[in-house]
Amino acid sequence: MPDNYMVNFDTRELPQVEEEYIIMGSGIAGLYTALSASQAGRSVTVLTKQTMMDTGTDKAQGGIAAALGDADSPALHREDTLVAGAGLCDSEAVAALVSEGPDRVRELIGLGAIFDRDSQGLALTREGAHSQRRILHASGDATGAEIQRVLTQRVREDDKINVLENHYVVDLLVRDNTCYGVLAYDRQNKEYRVFRGKVVVLATGGLGRIFEHNTNPEIATGDGIAIAFRAGAEVMDMEFIQFHPTVLNLPGAPRFLISEAVRGEGAYLRNIRGQRFMPRYHDLAELAPRDIVVRAILKEMAATNSNKVFLDLTHLEPELVKLRFPNISKTCSEYKLDITVDRIPVAPAAHYMMGGVKINLVGETSIRGLYACGEVSCPGVHGANRLASNSLLDGLVFGGRIVEETKHFLKDYNPRHLEFACDWLLEPAKTDYAALRKKLEVLMGEKVGPVRSSEGMREALVFFDQWSYLKRHRADNAEQMEVKNMLQVGELVAEAALARRESRGGHYRVDCPDTYQRWQKHIIFRR
């Protein structure tokens, strides 16, 4: 039998909800799409697997990029994005991002988002690979939290939007390549529910939690990509994972992102010998594209037999540092680090997924009625390496485009009321899923991390083959479903990385270190 479901079910026996829009995810992409749909007069249900605030958006520090400065322009922003993307950006998607981005940011401000200001107006900073100061930030280094706050508030005030927390989306309901809704698990009431929608939107975020060391929230386990792939949607660029160069690496402390904006304000990277090394690797030094900074750090760590380098702000004005980075300063101080006088020990960690569910310029996937936006999606805007602070902008622009497109789609679309069922899955496997998850996280970090080899990736694929039998067994709870999704997306990442026999952007192979013109193309998978 096909393995496109994780549980046995029959929609005729389950409680059902019908809505025009079913949106999965409550970060910037999901909530902005919900608000846009409501403003268009549509009814919306938002499903989120934990609370509304458990999102990658809430954790975002550095800022949101938009060409709002007097010396800046969408054309310059476009050029920087294309250069960072290492030849794999879709130029039309990038043009949409940078040209529509400023208006979307102005909308956020109109909704009540409070960004930092100076005597010139909006305080704009610069980050790696940006040619201009175009990064808006809030409360110094809590930009995502401010955006999450205002969108959450606006959604909660909107009578047309129904938010259901603790609803884990299990699978899509797809027949004849058309999506009719989703099967979800109500974790609080411990029951399955069916949500039928004319427009189904994936905005579930990334997959960083498949790696042992990462900057992502607990929810980032690749669920959206996994359920879309199981349903037959195309996924693209799965090999391109962005590893953030500077993540706190201190015994006893959780991995904590040290924003790229720190380097944007003038911080240096030093090896354990105290030597500043980035000028040896790139003309932009600490502001080089993230993939270049990551590999430079890894080389310095290997050369000095260390598991870290240092981020040095001690030459910067102490009051400026505390004012600009209050969250980072506070967090480091909890571990006895004063960032105005102490160097911060850092190392790279998994941060962002450039690939995902393949979409076109209006958010359509390869399945009719199924759309995607934000980190779960892949419009080709980030290419092989995302430009810093383009991620929040991505969710806004393509979320808005989905609603504009579906205004026309909904006029003529009246989906049939179909029933769905699965009764062929075996009883839950007697597996220690917590231990399996830990094995997966360690394996991905060691074999499919920022430095890869054919041998390591083949070992990873052997691991996934060993556990493939779990697809024949139903999941017994949301935690098991999560691990099965992590196995699915981990396998897709490893398989795509093995297939791409070159190094480009966030994908680096020691056995294929060069970049080739013939590989200036995308790898697309479909069940």
- Over residues 34-50, the mean pLDDT reads 96
The answer to whether residue 1 scores a pLDDT higher than 50 is no
Identical fold between 9-240+354-412 and 423-522: no
43 touches 19 (CB < 8 A) = yes
Taking each helix axis from N to C end, the angle separating 391-412 and 28-39, rounded to the nearest 10 degrees, works out to 40
Rounded Cα distance, 25 and 374, in Å: 10
User: Binning pLDDT at 50, 70 and 90, where does residue 72 land?
Assistant: very high
The answer to whether residue 129 scores a pLDDT higher than 90 is no
The rounded mean pLDDT for the chain is 95
Count Cα atoms within 13 angstroms, Cβ side, for 217.
19
- Over residues 402-407, the mean pLDDT reads 94
- Over residues 323-346, the mean pLDDT reads 94
Pick the CATH number of 423-522 from 3.40.50.720, 3.30.450.20, 1.20.58.100, 3.60.20.30: 1.20.58.100
pLDDT for the residue 203: 98
Share above pLDDT 70 across residues of the chain, in percent, rounded to a whole number: 100
The answer to whether residue 340 scores a pLDDT higher than 90 is yes
pLDDT for the residue 411: 80
Structure-token pair, residue 133:
């100061």
- Over residues 173-177, the mean pLDDT reads 96
Instruction: List, by residue number, the catalytic residues.
Output: 290
Please give the class, per CATH, of domain 9-240+354-412. alpha beta
Structural element, H or E, at residue 362: none
Residue 379 one-letter amino acid: P
Structure-token pair, residue 330:
């506070």
Q: Domain extents for the chain?
A: 9-240+354-412, 245-348, 423-522
From first CA to last CA, the distance across the chain in angstroms is 14
> Of 20-29, 84-93, 132-141, which range is least confident?
132-141
pLDDT for the residue 60: 87
User: Binning pLDDT at 50, 70 and 90, where does residue 2 land?
Assistant: low
> Of 1-5, 188-192, 332-336, which range is least confident?
1-5
pLDDT for the residue 261: 87
- Kindly report, residue by residue over 500-512, the tens digit of the pLDDT: 999 999 999 999 9
Rounded Cα distance, 290 and 311, in Å: 15
- Over residues 424-437, the mean pLDDT reads 96
Share above pLDDT 90 across residues of the chain, in percent, rounded to a whole number: 91
- Over residues 217-229, the mean pLDDT reads 97
Exposed e or buried b per residue across 331-349, where buried means at least 16 C-beta atoms within 10 angstroms of its C-beta? bbeeeebebbeebbbbbbb
The answer to whether residue 28 scores a pLDDT higher than 50 is yes
Rounded Cα distance, 260 and 246, in Å: 8
Nearest Cα residue to 228 out of 172, 167, 175: 172
CATH architecture, domain 245-348: Alpha-Beta Complex (3.90)
- Over residues 353-376, the mean pLDDT reads 97
State the residue for tokens 């009540």.
112
DSSP string, 267-282: -EEE-TTS-B-GGGT-
Nearest Cα residue to 193 out of 181, 208, 202, 201: 181
The answer to whether residue 74 scores a pLDDT higher than 60 is yes
